[in-house]
Structure 1
């Protein structure tokens, strides 16, 4: 089955109607490509011909680059951009996108002799050469360039001159479409000297053949390719707008679910001591270990695609179901439904954006294959298929972690870095690193002054004032079972230090 049918069926089956309406219209863009083909073929520029012309132009440019390598080495102070621009000026054919603000304006440019209007590429079809010659003559009727060969008193200088530079082309280029709209150059009447390019080599006035013939860049007026890229850019902007709307909606839901989870996991005492802190902690522990949207392994690090994220989400659901447990508060059930809805919404949008990225990539590949214009490599970043899904998943995953998962403290964040148990009775050294009181005592007893983390000389100077009372209260509140277990372990270790292990573990014997 062709991609167009699969794409349409996937949109209709898996996504809301509003999303499907904002998706890339793959079939309509295919029709635009056919119109581009017909328009180019009518000008004698079918895909095979254009491919040969572009390959020839590229080969000629590489040859010029190799010949001018020594000269460029001498002029290393010149900016790279100016050298590239000078190289582009000598290309007899190129396809580019003009800088016209947010709009995408494609241009098919040919280099012609300014004096005769004849194309510089001899491989063009007769109808193409005729069109370029006519366009060049029409442009010369309203715009003539002063060349270095023109004497000051020649008839060519007796009439007002117009600059051939425009906002969409480099200073040495001009499109026939805006020839009559270029304003007169205000400095031309004050400067009698002819303009010279800063990158042009000096010429010998006594040798007329040393002057290269003046050239002009002519843009062939095409309408169908502009229609194609305008439609593509409009639909990409619609996708971006849909992403912003969906992101705002999910962001509001994340905030409300985070507030609800904070309320149902508050470990209050007294009659209202019933809470679901332990179960929510276990669920979030499984969620973090599942790495649904981002992978942290060495083999696959970074954001997951829709397929991997879906598999990780399925594993998370299976582990939560196998873990069992009953909610103590009814609000926790609503919070769990909201948490599931947020993640499924993220997965659905991730799949939607990846599907559209695939459609954009395939339609641009088809455009290049049918026209040989190579638009994919020269498309501006604003109009190219950006990674919408990665930025969307990254932003909302970070919000889920900060506003939902972080509401429930995780045991891994409060472990002693030496014994890897809860850092109860936490000792905060002068270097701000925290250890449990038992490990701090052992390090002092062994005379180790360097902090195990930063290697600072802070251990031996620690005393009872370094015990953090606020953190001790926090650990006792949110990790009551672990705190009691660690307290018993500390008391037993202190008894062993004082009386010996044989007296601590000895049992009573009935005589």
Structure 2
């Protein structure tokens, strides 16, 4: 099934809010703009294969020449560079994208383009640009004259066919100082307009709208350079002529690509608002739920009615399920899970809860209501993540389709340009953000036994001693270690940590938490300690009392 159909069916689902549907990336509408961009490029004479040959990678120091069928690097007299910049808004960089197609014709007398495909492309571009730019009659006359003399020139030097075509193209597009086109240099920026279903290319100067104020500056007026005459070419057949570099740059503003990027930018802003709104709502829900759970697990006189141990077991199963990502994975991208896996983990969590029959053991009705709210919040987060993933895919695929149809290379340029403008890209992973808030505000309300367990005896570390290195042990285990002359920390081998410990190392805060939230474990620990002390005392009595 095609992605456009999958996207539409997902957005048409009943459980998708209408504001989400309106904010989603309009994939089909953007595809129509891509089709119009293709038509505008064809109007200029740039077919898709031609663009692959002529496109220039601005990040590379050399021109990038790509051919699907052959691997070769001929010198390219015509380069097309697609430039994306941000418009200026009150002297600052705004959010609007200004696209510009820069065409550069670079000519040297020693330039030799022999490839048939390149020669054909340069000839076609020359004809198209010449027709749409309405070259002055004097230029047309000069061009016609050169066409008439072409046959005589080719008879003398038949190996310079490609050079002749490039020379014609350059001379046709060249604007010397005597021409009206070179008076200010600004008329080398042209704009495509659609009138009565027809495309027209016209110069644009002061009427350029504000969204294009940051467009690349027009090139400086080109100095007049004498073109090599036919007589020169005939007389210099024995000698190599001096190299004369000449370059012509033309900036063309397409029509539909501006609409494409404006629409995509607006949709990204809408997605930013959706994410911000949903994140705010979920944080509010977590805060409200944490207050409810706090009242249900609070230690006090009504301990018999408390669901403390049941909620602890629920949160332990939830953490072990690692629903959204793996907690101990250093690589954040590898730790994240896909939508199918998240949904499966949530269902597995519910299955484990039902298997242990925890819900039927709740002593308070509010506990069941709070648990249902907790599950509802998790599935809503899953829906938000699915929506975010779907739009991320739509964004990636529409840029990929733009490049596939036009060969303009926006797939890497556009995301980098708008990266800092949208939390859709630059914001932290939504699942991690919500999970961290959930863990800080909700799950930590019920301390887990693992965080207060002595690593030596593996039971609650009651009367906890925190060593200089920070590790926590119960006092009984440390006394035994010291009796056995083990004075270093058993966890990190911190030297003399046990020997230096004293009553000042008693962690009163941790002991208070243990007494409040682990009353059964503390009671069992004290009983175990009493039994152990009695055993030690009874074991040291080697001789029994004899009554005579």
Both structures adopt the same fold (TM-score exceeding 0.5): yes
**How far does residue 217 in structure 1 lie from its aligned partner after superposition?**
2.9
Residue 486 of structure 2 aligns to a residue whose secondary structure is coil
Q: How much does 1:25 deviate?
A: 0.7
Match of 1:229 among 235, 249, 261: 261
Partner of 2:307: 276
Q: 1:273 to 1:247 in 2, by over 3 A?
A: same
Checking the alignment, whether the CA contact within 8 Å between 2:467 and 2:501 is kept in structure 1 is yes
Indicate yes or no: 2:402 matched with 1:367: yes
Instruction: Work out which of the residue numbers 382, 392, 412 in structure 2 matches 1:357.
Output: 392
Match of 2:105 among 103, 112, 115: 112
Closer, same or farther in 2 for the Cα pair 1:446/1:390, shift >3 Å? same
C-alpha separation between the residues in 2 aligned to 1:39 and 1:489?
A: 85
Q: Which residue of 1 aligns with 2:381?
A: 346
Residue in structure 1 matched with residue 249 of structure 2 by the alignment: 217
Q: Please tell me whether residue 7 in structure 1 is matched to residue 7 in structure 2.
A: yes
Q: Provide closer, same or farther for how the CA distance between residues 387 and 310 of structure 1 changes in structure 2, counting only shifts above 3 A.
A: farther
Q: Deviations over 1:462-504 (max 9, x none)?
A: 234433344323212210111122222222232333322999x
- Cα distance, 1:280–1:136 mapped onto 2, change above 3 Å: farther
Query: Match for residue 299 of structure 2?
Result: 267
Task: Say whether the 8 Å CA contact 1:426–1:471 is kept in structure 2.
Answer: yes
| Residues paired across the two proteins, number | 424
The structural deviation recorded for 1:394 is 1.5
2:336 matched residue in structure 1: 303
Structure 2 unaligned regions, length at least 5: 66-75, 88-93, 137-176, 189-201, 214-222, 224-240, 543-548
* Residue of structure 1 equivalent to 2:325: 294
Q: 1:324 maps to which residue?
A: 357
Q: Secondary structure at the match of 1:352?
A: helix
Deviation per CA, 1:98-121, whole angstroms, max 9, x where unpaired? 232311222221113699xxxx98
Whether 2:508 is the aligned partner of 1:493: answer: no
* Segment of structure 1 superposing worse, 419-428 or 312-321: 419-428
Which deviates the most, 278-287 or 359-368? 359-368
The aligned counterpart of 2:37 is: 36
Change (3 A) 1:425 1:442: same
Q: Say if 1:494 and 1:242 are closer, same or farther in 2 by CA, change over 3 A.
A: same
1:472 and 2:507 are equivalent in the alignment: no
CA RMSD of aligned residues (A): 3.8
- 3-state SS in 1 of match to 2:499: coil
| Matching residue within 438, 447, 461 for 2:500 | 461
| Alpha-carbon displacement from aligned partner over 1:449-473 (angstroms, at most 9, x marks no partner) | 2122343322112234433344323
Contact 1:349-1:389 at 8 Å conserved across structures? no
Q: Distance in 1 between matches of 2:527 and 2:300?
A: 24
Equivalent residues in 2 for 1:62-461, closer than 5 Å:
92-100=79-87, 101-112=94-105, 123-124=120-121, 128-130=125-127, 132=129, 177-178=204-205, 209=242, 212-213=245-246, 215-269=247-301, 271=302, 273-296=304-327, 301-325=334-358, 326-383=361-418, 387=425, 391-456=429-494, 457-461=496-500
Alignment counterpart, residue 61 of structure 1, candidates 60, 63, 80? 63
Cα 1:237/1:114, change in 2 over 3 Å:
farther
Question: Is contact 1:354-1:389 (8 Å) kept?
Answer: no
> Is the contact between residue 99 and residue 253 of structure 2 (CA under 8 Å) also seen in structure 1?
no
Q: Distance in 2 between matches of 1:339 and 1:49?
A: 57
In 2, the alpha carbon distance for the partners of 1:358 and 1:346 equals: 18
Cα deviation digits, residues 42-85 of structure 1 (max 9, x gap): 2221212212223899896379xxxxxxxxxxxxxxxxxxxxxx
Give the CA deviation at 1:416: 1.2
- Partners of 1:179 and 1:128 lie apart in 2 by 27
Q: Distance in 1 between matches of 2:253 and 2:293?
A: 61
Shift of residue 405 of structure 1? 0.6
Contact between 1:294 and 1:302, CA under 8 Å: does it hold in 2? yes
Paired with 2:328 and 2:500, the residues of 1 have a C-alpha distance of 39
- 1:280, 1:502 → 2: CA distance? 47
Q: Do the aligned partners of residues 222 and 228 (structure 1) sit closer, same or farther apart at CA in structure 2, a change above 3 Å counting? A: same
